[in-house]
Structure 1
Amino acid sequence: SPDGFSLPHLTRRLDVAGRDVTRYLIKLLLMRGYAFNRTADFETVRMIKEKLCYTSYDLDLDKKLSEETTVLVENYTLPDGRVIKVGSERFEAPECMFQPHLVDVEQPGMAEMLFNTIQAAPVDVRSELYKHVVLSGGSSMYPGLPS
C-alpha cells in the first residue's frame, strides 16, 4: 500500500508461466509448418521466444499487419544453420498470459486478474494501488509490457 504496509490477501498468481508461452510458441510454429519437438527443441524455441516475442498493445492492428504485410516478420537462425521466419507468433505466444484458455488454463488473464485484485481492496486505496503495480517473474520482461 502507499503507506508502506503490504496487503498479502491481495497477492495473486497467474498460473501461466514462461514454459507455457514456449509450449504455445511451439504449437504456433507447428501450425506454420515448422516441425519442432516439444522436448528436444524446447530450449531452441525458448531462445526464439526470448529474442523475438513481445506483448501487443493493439492485437487487432498487429493481426492486420501480420496478415497484410511482412513488417512483423523476423528471421531466426536455428542452431543447425537453417533460417526460419517468425511473424504473428511473436505476439500470439505471449497472448496466452492475457487469455489463459489458449493454453488450457481456466483462470482470468493478467489484465483481468489485476483489475479483480484491485477491486477486492478497500475502495479508498484502489486509485493509489493502480499507481504501484509490480509485475515480477521472467515473463514480465516482454517488450510491450510496462516495466
Structure 2
Amino acid sequence: MWWQGDMVMVDEEGYWFHHGRADDVIKVSGRRTGPGELEDVVNQYPGVLEAAAIGVPHAVRGEEIALFIVQKPGESIDASDLKRHVTNALGKPYEPAEIHVVADLPKTRTQKIMRRLIKQRYLGEALGDTSSLMNPGALEGLPKRHAVDQ
C-alpha cells in the first residue's frame, strides 16, 4: 500500500519499489531529486557504510546538498573524491556542498533514517516529535550549521 505523496516505481515485471516520501525531495537549481537517489550513489563509494542526504537552503540555487556519512570500520573517505564520484554519476548540479562524517545516523526502530531530524538538528530548528527514534544519541553527534554558511 502506498499514499499519494510517496515515490513509487513499478518495474517491467510488475514489482513495486517504494523510494520514500516525495516531500523529502531536494531541489537544486530547479532540478528535483529524491535523497534516495543521491544516497544510492554515495553508498557505492568505497568506505561508506551508510549515508543520508538532505537539502539545505542556498541563496541562489534554492538548496544545496549536505551529506552525512557513516564510514565502514577502519576505512576513511576522501571528500573531494566522493564529490567527484557523485558528480560523475549524477552531474555537476548534484555535487555535494558539504560532507560530514558522523558516528551514527538517527533511525526509527525499523531502521529508517530520520532525515527530518538530521535537517532540523543541522539547521538549528526545533526537533519536534522524537518518540520514534531508536538511537537519540545519534542526534548529539550531528554537526550544526554555522551562521556564516547560510
How high is the TM-score relative to the length of structure 2?
Answer: 0.24
Comparing both structures, which one devotes a greater share of its residues to helix?
A: 1
| Greater relative contact order, per chain length (Cα 8 Å cut-off, separation 6+) | 1
User: Is the strand fraction higher in 1 or 2?
Assistant: 2
Structure (1 or 2) with the larger CA radius of gyration: 1
